[in-house]
Amino acid sequence: TLIALLAGDGIGPEVTAQARRVLEALAPDLVFEEGAVGGAAYRTQGHPLPPETLALAKRSDAVLFGAVGDPAFDALERAMRPEQAILGLRKGLGLFANLRPAKLFAGLEDASALKPEIARKIDLVIVRELTGDVYFGDKGRGLTRTGLREGHDLMRYDEVEVARIARVGFETARTRRHKLLSVDKANVLETSQLWRDVVNEVARDFPDVALSHMYVDNAAMQLVRDPGQFDTIVTGNLFGDILSDQASMCAGSIGMLPSAALGSSAQGMYEPIHGSAPDIAGQGKANPCAAILSAAMMLRHSLDRADVADRIETAVAAAILAGARTADLGGSMSTDAMGDAIMAQLG
Amino acid sequence: TLIALLAGDGIGPEVTAQARRVLEALAPDLVFEEGAVGGAAYRTQGHPLPPETLALAKRSDAVLFGAVGDPAFDALERAMRPEQAILGLRKGLGLFANLRPAKLFAGLEDASALKPEIARKIDLVIVRELTGDVYFGDKGRGLTRTGLREGHDLMRYDEVEVARIARVGFETARTRRHKLLSVDKANVLETSQLWRDVVNEVARDFPDVALSHMYVDNAAMQLVRDPGQFDTIVTGNLFGDILSDQASMCAGSIGMLPSAALGSSAQGMYEPIHGSAPDIAGQGKANPCAAILSAAMMLRHSLDRADVADRIETAVAAAILAGARTADLGGSMSTDAMGDAIMAQLG
Ligand SMILES: CC(C)[C@H](C(=O)O)[C@@H](O)C(=O)O
Ligand SMILES: CC(C)[C@H](C(=O)O)[C@@H](O)C(=O)O
């Protein structure tokens, strides 16, 4: 079983090292092969996603991804920026569904800006479409007929793209509380009206799931007012980008939350939702929990080892409950020490 | 001085009645003329924004708007839905700048989902572009070459559209803490890169304002984590729609917050940020504060009567501090009684 380990920039290498350590202990048959990605790859190979990295990802069973982003490259044209590697991998591997669970870890009530009684009720997953929308539509800069500079990006979906992510939404809801909320902006966007129509059509195959719809502005409001009302949320690439980051922060713990990018095969890409955090990179104080929990998602979704995934998730929760805290959680543990604390809980 | 009073649907008539009452007491020279809008107008005239309503709005000095939206018309095609009236008025009157202040009213700490010490620090204004972006670009439904249904909406800005809203952002920041944050998604969108370039260019005319940039996903996160860090935020139509609703809810009081839509003349449109709330319409329990505060914004921005605006804002804050509460704020006062409480504070 081949794992492509793409550690990337900033704290990426530090946090994925801990995830690898946990995996090596619990799944010794995994073979890791490292690939260069992001600013680190641009530095050595002149491209944020070198062909050999994409090839490695393609032949792997799963990709364990750290983080990309490096302020040194902020002035580069868009196509050469470190973050483009993520988009290239999603598209290149056909990973159209992003699963982002958000819940408050017991003991981390202080970390959320929300009142504890509200934050404690958060237990939701956002199913975000990843390979369409305004991210991948025709885009460019140009001049208007009167010579003004303009910029444009086409927001666009077709029914096949919507139906396949809707199915992931319904399937996910089925493993949870059988409630699916689809988020769009159908009062303004034609793309959203197609989205809503197709989601309603797919719903016929899932009579056991209660489907509802909400406008994105209202969803952003409700995620603050009463996040406990949500179970599974399915939405497009752009709205999902915004809402999933918002939901993670409601749960208080950007350093704690993993994500999975899935396609139509078992292959997937797994990454913490946090970024490369250049301000604390190399200092050994990053929180490795999100990377370790991403490894757990990988075991569950790509490697069919839900039992091992459960063990890891339980160990992380137990370590937190026992008081293990990196700096982002108000503590002073190093990245290594947090890894130790989790390993200790694994027994 | 002519005020076009467009009360609209649901609780719109109830809350604007209280705003009118306050205005009649403090600015007796104002002349009100009512116009039909939204579902109410569709019912009687077959269009959510009848030509005579648009004409009335055009010849008025300012528009005081209630709310539109009526579930009875949810199945209508987009162009005939009540909400289209808002878009038609913004475009028809050239109102390209939406000002949405958000702050927590003293005494309403319980209403916010955020911890009181975090919510209390909220004092920001979102300057949202209103007449461009994916709202007004070329849009439609169609078939792909292989016969699949598709939907598309073009996101688009030109430099003139960006520069004029950027100026409103800088001017607004100047009346506050001289800090402007521009929000975009320049790591993915060409539209955002033009946006960022132009905002940076306009910044040269405002050396006294500290400009920074943030991606929209991060902004949605930071608005929950630490909203006190923000002063003035300028952003496009779509991101502004989402972030302004989110910010309002962080401040805890969707029933308390007003908004202004402005163009290049003194004329403007003023409306509560809440919607038509069909579930409580006609029951006399809606909170009129947002409508009354919208009237205050009208006095300040369109009618050059900042002194009267100040009096109204002070009276609303005092009534809240004295314990006046409608149902949305956890109390039991009627719409009328809340109006009385504010009138009493006006002395
Ligand atoms: C880095 C960026 C292109 C990316 C996105 O917008 O998808 C990131 O924000 C994410 O959510 O994974
Ligand atoms: C009703 C809708 C078209 C409108 C918008 O999206 O602009 C509303 O949400 C708003 O923010 O005023």
**By CA distance, what is B114's nearest residue in A?**
A114
Q: Residue for token digits 């501090």?
A: B321
Q: What percent of chain A has pLDDT over 70?
A: 100
Same domain? For A306 and A201 the reply is no
Neighbours of B40 (CB within 10 A): 23
More confident residue, A309 or B80: A309
Q: Is the pLDDT of residue B252 over 90?
A: no
Q: Do residue B157 and residue A151 have CB atoms under 8 angstroms apart?
A: yes
Nearest CA to ligand 2 atom 10: B241
Whole-number Cα distances in Å, B340 to A160, B32, B206, B299, B330 = 56, 21, 43, 20, 18
Q: Is the pLDDT of residue A16 over 90?
A: yes
Query: What does the pLDDT look like over B115-128, one tens digit per residue?
Result: 999 999 999 999 99
Nearest CA to ligand 2 atom 9: B241
Residue ending a domain, among A256, A279, A310, is A256
Residue ending a domain, among B196, B230, B254, is B254
Q: Is the pLDDT of residue B248 over 90?
A: yes
Q: Do residue B187 and residue A81 have CB atoms under 8 angstroms apart?
A: yes
8 Å CB contact between B139 and A190: yes
**By CA distance, what is A136's nearest residue in B?**
B188
Q: Could you tell me which residues come within 8 angstroms of residue A169 by beta carbon, excluding any fewer than 6 positions away?
A: A127, A180, A182, A199, A232, A233, A234
- Region B93-107: what's the mean pLDDT? 96
Q: Is the pLDDT of residue B111 over 90?
A: no
A198 and chain B in contact, CB less than 8 A: yes
Query: What does the pLDDT look like over A194-228, one tens digit per residue?
Result: 999 999 999 999 999 999 999 999 999 999 999 99
Q: Is the pLDDT of residue A68 over 90?
A: yes
Same domain? For A274 and A190 the reply is no
Q: What is the pTM of this model?
A: 0.96
Same domain? For A4 and A118 the reply is no
How much is the pLDDT for A269? 98
pLDDT tier for residue B244 given thresholds of 50, 70 and 90: very high
Q: Do residue A249 and residue B224 have CB atoms under 8 angstroms apart?
A: yes
Q: Could you give the maximum distance between any two Cα atoms of chain B, in Å?
A: 70
Same domain? For A114 and A243 the reply is yes
- Region A309-322: what's the mean pLDDT? 97
Q: What percent of chain B has pLDDT over 70?
A: 100
Same domain? For A182 and A91 the reply is no
Sheet holding A232-235, edge to edge: A31-34, A2-8, A62-67, A268-272, A258-262, A97-103, A123-129, A232-235, A179-184, A210-215
Same domain? For A10 and A119 the reply is no
Query: What does the pLDDT look like over A225-271, one tens digit per residue?
Result: 999 999 999 999 999 999 999 999 998 878 999 999 999 999 999 99
Task: Give the residue among A287, A279, A267 at the shortest CA–CA distance from A336.
Answer: A287
Q: For residue B319, what are its two tokens? A: 């009534």
Neighbours of B91 (CB within 10 A): 16
Q: Is the pLDDT of residue B254 over 90?
A: no
Q: Which residues line ligand 1 (CB under 6 A)?
A: A 83, 86-87, 241; B 187-188, 217
How much is the pLDDT for A254? 85
Calculate ∠ Cα A155-B250-B336, nearest 5°: 110
Q: For residue B283, what are its two tokens? A: 């029951």
Neighbours of B207 (CB within 10 A): 8
Residue ending a domain, among B254, B288, B319, is B254
Q: Is the pLDDT of residue B36 over 90?
A: yes
* Active site members of B: 135, 185, 217, 241, 245
Split into its structural domains, chain B has a count of 2
pLDDT tier for residue B263 given thresholds of 50, 70 and 90: very high
Same domain? For B119 and B245 the reply is yes
Distance (Å) from CA A265 to ligand 2 centroid: 39
Nearest-angstrom CA–CA distance, A116 and A113: 9
Mutate to test the interface with A, among B98, B139, B158, B193 (most CBs of A within 10 A): B158
Same domain? For B117 and B206 the reply is yes
Same domain? For B139 and B249 the reply is yes
A137 and chain B in contact, CB less than 8 A: yes
Same domain? For B112 and B204 the reply is yes
pLDDT tier for residue B76 given thresholds of 50, 70 and 90: confident
The domain of A159 spans 104-256
How much is the pLDDT for A340? 98
Same domain? For A230 and A116 the reply is yes
How much is the pLDDT for B198? 98
> SS3 of A184, please?
strand
- Region A85-110: what's the mean pLDDT? 96
How much is the pLDDT for A122? 96
Query: What does the pLDDT look like over B314-345, one tens digit per residue?
Result: 999 999 999 999 999 999 999 999 999 999 99
Neighbours of A138 (CB within 10 A): 11
**By CA distance, what is A152's nearest residue in B?**
B156
Same domain? For B158 and B246 the reply is yes
Task: Give the residue among A44, A56, A55, A137 at the shortest CA–CA distance from A82.
Answer: A44
CATH of residue B229's domain is: 3.40.718.10
Q: Is A283 annotated as a binding residue?
A: yes
Residues of A in contact with B195 (CB under 8 A): 151
How much is the pLDDT for A26? 97
B59 and chain A in contact, CB less than 8 A: no
